[in-house]
Chain A
Amino acid sequence: MRRLLNFLYKRREIGVFLVLEILSIWLLVSYNNRYNASFFNSSNQLSGFVSQSSQNVSDYFQLDKINERLMQENELLQEELRRLRISPTAFLDTINRYEVIGARVVANTVNRSSNFLTISAGKKDGIEIGMGIITSSGIVGQVKSVSDNFATVYSLLHPNFLISSMVKRTQTKGTVQWDQADYLHAELKYIPRHIKLKKGDSVVTSGFNSVFPEDILIGIIDEFDLKDQMTFYQTRIQLATDFTSLGQVYAIKDLLKQEKDSLELL
């Protein structure tokens, strides 16, 4: 009897070990379901607050750099505005369709195998799960989960994040996905072999889903390869967004999303 008890006592530790490991694996697997309002992520209040405070300190030491970046962005916007005034009808359909919500990045990774961002805008500011996030230079990601004041965002540098995209010159549709290699490049998939690609072609969003508006720059084609047996090109693009220095980002709210999605369900 005593030996049995000893035996069970020894096994108890292994039991605790197994239970905890299984629990962590379950957490990990359930988190990877694409969109959820999980408590265990960086958009919860405590973690958001800590990241924001830490970001505030580091921002303070880069104020001049941040100012300069905002200035450049203003210049770009001014230019665009002037162009719009010249041809007032060109973007009429998009002007009323998208609403833009500004936010600050409070936490960001680029070196992990799957990267996330935390931004300082949440439900109170109108952020919803599934919204697209852009910056002035290109695509950033898509909202994964949201709390009152913060949101966790799938970075483009996450292997589960796919973007419906288009080679601008040829209007060919494809998909951009990160290949986990480095934060400067991603892969462009499903470009059929009869298309003539060129190095330096720009790749933009297709606007086929209601996450991103049409024609936002994702990157430019850096290198491509076409072997005899391949149906599709193997293409690497250089990303337009510099993920190491993200400061100000914009969430895109598609006001016609529901209408579009309900039509496509039919």
Chain B
Amino acid sequence: MNRLSIREQILNFFFLMLIQLPLIHRITLFDQAFGFFYVGFLLLLPVNISRSYLMIIGFFSGLLVDVFSNTPGMHASACVFIMFFRNFWLSFINNDWRELPNLNILFLKTTGFFAFIFPLILVHHLVLFLVENGGFHFFGQIVARSFFSTLFSGLIIFLVNFTCSGNKKKA
């Protein structure tokens, strides 16, 4: 089981993190929805990683994305923020979350998966757009952007995970 988990982490890292980098400015739907789907890689990291390490991984992933979008510190701060709350939120969704070998659709079920990722992505995007905007002016626009971006990013994460864990069933 452990080996499968590593394989899936590598797939996640590749599809959700590396593919994000060249696409960071390119996928914007209707001037509103930005696809920051790299968050999925962070959210789906295995449960046995301690919270401090989660935050450190989050920080460096965020920083990597920041380098590509000329916003050093912005994605990093948002990522550290959600990584701080991730396990806490997971324990709400799933009572025996510590026994889950892997965070994906198979183990969380589809509803659990959505209930797990969407609020965290929304928080991430809200923090991100608030910090970017540097204040609460244009607040309506920020909320709209966060909402649509969450739907967009969440959908991509779902599709990637759906495909990856589909492979796993056969293996």
Asked if B71 contacts A28 (CB within 8 A), the reply is yes
Assess whether A26 is in contact with B84, with CB atoms less than 8 Å apart.
no
Tell me which of A17, A26, A111, A152 contacts B70 (CB under 8 A). A152
Of B25-33, B113-121, B155-163, the stretch lying at the interface with chain A is B25-33
What total of A-B pairs shows CB separation below 8 Å? 99
Given contacts A13-B51, A16-B55, contact A24 B67 (CB under 8 A): no
A50-B68 contact given A20-B55, A20-B59, CB 8 Å threshold: yes
B131 in contact (CB, < 8 A): yes
Q: List A contacts of B133 (CB < 8 A).
A: 113, 180
B70 touches A116 (CB 8 A): yes
For residue B81, CB closer than 8 A to chain A, the reply is: yes
Sort chain A's interface into a size bin.
35 or more
A174 to B52 alpha-carbon distance, docked (Å): 51
Instruction: Give chain A residues whose Cβ lies under 8 Å from the Cβ of B147.
Output: none
Interface readout for A1-43 with B: 1 if CB under 8 Å, 0 if not? 0000000000011001100110111111101000000101110
Interface of A is mostly: helix
Which bucket holds chain B's interface residue count?
35 or more
B77 lies within 8 A of chain A by Cβ: yes
Q: A12 with B70: in contact, given A21-B81, A24-B76, A113-B134 (CB under 8 Å)?
A: no
Q: Which residues on B sit within 8 Å (CB–CB) of A47?
A: 21, 67-68
- What are 14 pairs between A and B in contact, CB < 8 Å? A16-B52, A17-B80, A23-B73, A24-B80, A26-B73, A27-B72, A27-B73, A27-B76, A31-B72, A107-B25, A108-B25, A112-B69, A112-B132, A180-B138
